[in-house]
Amino acid sequence: MELPNSEKTVLMDGKKISAQILEECETSVKKLADRGIIPGLAVVLVGENPASKVYVRSKRQTCEKLGIRSFAHDLPADTTEEQLLELIGQLNADPHVHGILVQMPLPPHISEQRILNAISPDKDVDGFHPVNTGKLLNGEDCFVPCTPAGCQELLIRSGFSPRGKHVVIVGRSNIVGKPLAALLVQKSPCADATVTICHSRTRNLPEIARQADILIAAIGVPNFITPDMVRDGAVVVDVGINRVPDPGHPKGYRLVGDVDFQAVLPKVAAITPVPGGVGPMTIAMLMKNTLRAAEKQSHA
């Protein structure tokens, strides 16, 4: 990757920062081991979505590296909603399983919300259960969704606190946009931002995006954020991981973010790369949530 051309431009390094967090996690795993507790995460994959397979493999591998027990459940694409609900019931009842993650998206014949609602809120390390999303909105202690938590942590550990800043989020998904807005608007020294959410129906999106001190792209469209949407000196966080066909690449595709990185680079104070930005942070926060779940359940 080409490095920023201005000496002052910061590349927010999610790989490096996530490695620090994983080291902290290793210490927590050892402390739990001293008390005879082996944390366990069940990762459920339904179907053959190629991107989901990559994410799930990465989550499982990180578990094993840290000494977290990984319970793999790979189910065929024609699994019924009832079968998946049955599995979640078993995982909810299993004392070795402290966290449950069902990789999204699910095949269209399964209601994602019905599945997420069935996961015990105490094992909901994705933070997608309505009890946790409700608590997040209320500013109560809860499991925070991993990608939003990763964006917040990446900004703070890179020296770009969102406090008092205008954060514009482009994208309103339940996985990123909405919970990230709820998180960054919290009354907290790590948040305290003024938050605007834009989406596909927003009028004058470039004009609003240009008002951002911190611009977060989570819309799932390759290279959507162009220089006309970015204020000089803005901090840009790119949540997008999009596969674009590339016959010149051994895999036949390459990964690009939601931000036109090379075009935007000369304008920004700081930016995240793709890959190596938010992606590894998501996994680190998942590990943190899993350890927290194990810790909480050990005192239950």
| 267 among known catalytic residues | no
Which token pair is 225?
A: 């954020």
**Applying CB under 6 A, does 186 fall inside the site for ligand GUN?**
no
* Residue 152 sits in the site that holds ligand GUN (CB under 6 A): no
With respect to ligand GUN, which residue has the nearer C-beta, 46 or 269? 46
Give the type of residue at 262.
Q
Site for ligand GUN in 164-183 (CB under 6 A): 175
Amino acid at 20: Q
Which segment (99-107, 154-162, 214-222, 226-234) binds ligand GUN by CB under 6 A? Answer: 99-107
Give the residue with the Cβ less far from ligand GUN, 39 or 150: 150
Rounded Cα distance, 75 and 30, in Å: 32
**Beta pairing class for 166-170 and 235-238:** unpaired
Q: Report, in Å, the least distance between residue 101 CB and ligand GUN.
A: 5
Among 126, 213, 238, 260, contact with ligand GUN (rule: CB under 6 A) = 126
- Rounded Cα distance between 229 and 212, Å, is 9
Contact between 68 and ligand GUN by CB under 6 A: the answer reads: no
H/E stretch holding 27 = helix 14-34
What residues pair up with 69 in beta bridges, in sequence order? 40
Given the complex with ligand GUN, which of 38 and 54 has the nearer CB atom? 54
59 is catalytic: yes
**Is 186 among the catalytic positions?**
no
Which tokens go with 152?
């917040």
Regarding 87 and contact with ligand GUN (CB under 6 A), the answer is no
Residue 39 CB partners (closer than 8 Å, separation 6+): 29, 32, 67, 68, 69, 98, 99, 290, 291, 293, 294
Out of 28, 79, 103, 158, which residue is the one contacting ligand GUN (CB under 6 A)?
Answer: 103
| Residues with a known catalytic role | 59, 103, 126
